[in-house]
């Protein structure tokens, strides 16, 4: 038991067991007149009680934690200082700490490996990865502008060009990930960070899927993602249905929300929300913001088509159409004709019962508005 002398530092409660057992590598030599003491607020105190919004501020290896920035179902993110390079970083660690199981650790490491593969000005950068006293962690670029979800009101009340310019950059970042066979699977405003200049940074690859790998660290048949931003095929939970088109759907939802400050599908019930996403037509963004240009509405609707094959083939094509709109050039997307809209509804009510395999009845409808007019 340490005496409460001048060198006393408050310590977290000792774990049950032999209080005299100490790892010599974890002790810090104090002056000769004082016995050795453990470093103040050891990293093991990261497992702070649930509901406590003020985390402890320990030294986590060479990183000094300053404050908690946020957290999700799996991870916690802190603002930290790299005491060797003298810069601030974002440090992410597993919420369960030393009690994380193999699947949680695997998903955490997958996220770090995915970010490390991606080099794009609008994707968060990773700096370091390691393990400290049983806690896995990695450090990333610190984005001081907060999340896009904190600025939705600003974009909805600004000129549409501002939202479109931002989405063009995000779409090109997503294309970078797709070209490296990486699906994000959880694109949403809360996972888009803004730097000090307002530039977007795609982050949080915790549900990442590598298209060139068979390994899947999520439970088979379980839908993974954030429901309001999930595509109809993503809601099935079948990994064979997942493709870049699912991320493009999520980009469409984000664009819709930036323009209107509303999501296209809303319901207090998860089951009803899933049914709306699978079968209902999204309301026109012009219902919420009448001055929106029809071409911009067409771009949004192309992202939100129920049939993945009818969406933009790539995020690059979406970005190019957004650029065309910004430069007041003709866009490539075209509105659905009435036979195609009817066919889409038929697809929504029939194909999901057959794992999204197109029915023969859908083939009778023309695939372009020109053929429909003929």
CB 20 within 8 A of CB 53: no
Helix (H) or strand (E) holding 259: helix 244-260
d(CA 342, CA 351): 14
Pairwise CA distance, residues 277 & 227, whole Å: 9
Indicate if the alpha-carbon torsion angle 104, 107, 108, 109 is positive or negative: positive
Residue 6, both tokens: 């001048």
Longest Cα–Cα distance in the chain: 95
- Annotated active-site residue 186? The verdict is yes
Task: Please tell me which residue in 47, 154, 186, 212 is annotated as part of the active site.
Answer: 186
The DSSP annotation for 300-362 comes to HHHHT-SSGGGS-SSHHHHHHHHHHHHTT---S--PPPHHHHHHHHHHHHHGGGGTTPPPGGG
DSSP 196: T
Q: Which residues of 245-268 are buried (b: 16+ CB within 10 A; e: fewer)?
A: bbbbbbbbbbbbbbbbebbbbeee
Contact call for residues 189 and 149 (beta carbons, < 8 A): yes
From residue 224, how far is each of 10, 141, 233 by CA, in Å?
Answer: 42, 26, 11
Q: Say if CB 318 and CB 248 are below 8 A apart.
A: yes
**Any bridge partners for residue 131, and if so which?**
136
* Cβ-contact 90, 69 below 8 angstroms: yes
The angle formed by the CA atoms of residues 29, 35 and 40, to the nearest 5 degrees, is 65
Q: Are the beta carbons of 108 and 75 closer than 8 angstroms?
A: yes
Q: 294-303 and 244-260 are packed helices; what angle lies between their axes, rounded to 10 degrees?
A: 140
The residues annotated as belonging to the active site are 186
């Amino acid at each position: 038991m340490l005496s409460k002398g001048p060198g006393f530092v408050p310590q977290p409660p000792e774990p049950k067991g032999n209080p005299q057992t100490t790892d010599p590598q974890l002790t810090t030599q104090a002056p000769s007149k004082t016995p050795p003491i453990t470093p103040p607020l050891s990293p093991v105190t990261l497992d702070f009680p649930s509901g406590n919004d003020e985390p402890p501020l320990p030294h986590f290896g060479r990183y000094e934690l300053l404050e908690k920035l946020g957290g999700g179902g799996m991870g916690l993110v802190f603002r930290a200082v790299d005491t060797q390079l003298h810069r601030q970083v974002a440090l992410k660690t597993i919420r369960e700490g030393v009690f994380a199981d193999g699947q949680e650790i695997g998903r955490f490491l997958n996220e770090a490996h995915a970010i490390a593969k991606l080099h794009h000005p609008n994707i968060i950068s990773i700096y370091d990865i390691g393990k400290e006293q049983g806690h896995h962690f990695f450090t990333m670029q610190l984005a001081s502008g907060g999340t896009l979800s904190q600025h939705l009101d600003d974009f909805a009340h600004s000129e549409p060009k501002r939202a479109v310019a931002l989405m063009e950059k995000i779409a090109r970042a997503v294309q970078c990930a797709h070209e490296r066979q990486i699906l994000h699977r959880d694109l949403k405003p809360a996972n888009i960070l803004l730097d000090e200049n307002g530039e977007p940074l795609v982050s949080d690859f915790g549900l990442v899927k590598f298209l060139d790998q068979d390994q899947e660290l999520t439970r088979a048949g379980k839908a993974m993602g954030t429901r309001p931003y999930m595509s109809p095929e993503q809601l099935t939970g079948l990994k064979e249905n997942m493709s870049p088109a699912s991320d493009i759907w999520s980009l469409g939802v984000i664009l819709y929300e930036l323009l209107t400050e509303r999501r296209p599908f809303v319901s207090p019930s998860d089951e009803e929300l899933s049914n709306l996403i699978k079968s209902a037509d999204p309301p026109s963004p012009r219902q919420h913001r009448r001055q929106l240009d029809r071409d911009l509405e067409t771009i949004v609707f192309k992202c939100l088509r129920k049939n993945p094959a009818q969406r933009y083939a790539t995020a690059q094509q979406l970005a190019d159409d957004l650029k065309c709109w910004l430069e007041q050039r003709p866009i490539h997307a075209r509105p659905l004709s009435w036979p195609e809209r009817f066919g889409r509804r038929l697809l929504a009510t029939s194909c999901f019962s057959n794992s999204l395999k197109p029915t023969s009845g859908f083939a009778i409808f023309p695939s372009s508005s020109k053929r429909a007019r003929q």
